[in-house]
Amino acid sequence: MTERPQTQQVEEPVIGICAVYERARWSFWDQQAHLVADSYVSSVQRTGAIALLLPVDSRAPEALLDRIDGLLLIGGADIDPAMYGAERDPATEATYPDRDRFELALLGGALERGLPVLAICRGMQLLNVALGGTLLQDLTGPDGSNLHRRALGSFEGTEHEVRLEPGSLAARASGEEVHVARCHHHQAIDVVGEGLVVSGRAADGLPEAIETSGGSWVLGVQWHPEADERSRVFAAFADAARAQAGLRTKGPDLTPRAEPAI
């Protein structure tokens, strides 16, 4: 009886989520903590991928990168302006340089390895800074209003249209060229980093999506797809990580090469 060849199963992808590192209070405790909102975790898990929380670690990131198939940079505190060579504006809010340095090192390694990257809100800004870009430190108008952060800690009333470049990674991941997004930010991209292109803008012209120009699966979105269960962005990201997991499972091609004829 002829045995059927066994097919090699691809593991579900592991997506590393960079954790917030701030002081937090829960139950009876008030102390430093590594935190990730469940909205990010559940958005990854719904795709079938495995969510792995990455705490801030001052050591080299290679060991962490060896264990993941995709990197997720999430929202949170402002980036220290020193990271992009700027003076601190009084409107810049609390910053956490340890987190900044860790995420920049991890992101740099992920880009070198060609890992899929999804960078959300602060994450998109960090992606821009990592590649030499700068940020506008405050979007608040003279009257105190900010259309991109109407209420602290809430996405209510922030829905707005983002126009995505046809054929861009942002449009393919979203499944549409006009996307209704939810946002919560008071900073934004100013000078675009090297090798990045703006692939989505809000009606006021503000960059809402960036991606690398070389064709890698590296996408930054200023909006929050984890706040919208209808969003297709996480599924597209997980598919890219799944393909990366397949490459990792397959391993290098060690087939002996034929000697060239003389």
| 231, part of any domain | yes
Which stretch, 145-149, 158-162, 209-213, has highest mean pLDDT? 209-213
Lookup: tokens for 152: 């602290």
| CA gyration radius, the chain | 20
| 128, part of any domain | yes
At residue 249 the predicted structure's pLDDT band, cuts being 50, 70 and 90, is: low
Of 18, 103, 121, 184, which one is the catalytic site residue? 121
Task: Provide the domain count of the chain.
Answer: 1
121 is catalytic: yes
pLDDT of residue 253: 47
pLDDT of residue 229: 86
* Mean pLDDT of the region 182-191: 90
| 150, part of any domain | no
| 147, part of any domain | no
| 151, part of any domain | no
Of 160, 179, 185, 224, which one is the catalytic site residue? 224
**pTM (2 d.p.):** 0.88
Lookup: tokens for 164: 């995505």
18 is catalytic: no
CB of 41 within 8 A of CB of 17? yes
Residue 10 has pLDDT above 80, yes or no: no
Cα–Cα distance for residue pair 135/190, rounded to 1 Å: 5
pLDDT tens, position by position, 152-180: 767 777 788 999 999 999 999 999 999 99
| 256, part of any domain | no
| 146, part of any domain | no
At residue 257 the predicted structure's pLDDT band, cuts being 50, 70 and 90, is: very low
Q: Which domain holds residue 232?
A: 14-139+158-247
| 162, part of any domain | yes
The CATH number that applies at residue 172 is 3.40.50.880
pLDDT tens, position by position, 52-63: 999 999 887 899
Of 103, 208, 211, 226, which one is the catalytic site residue? 226
226 is catalytic: yes
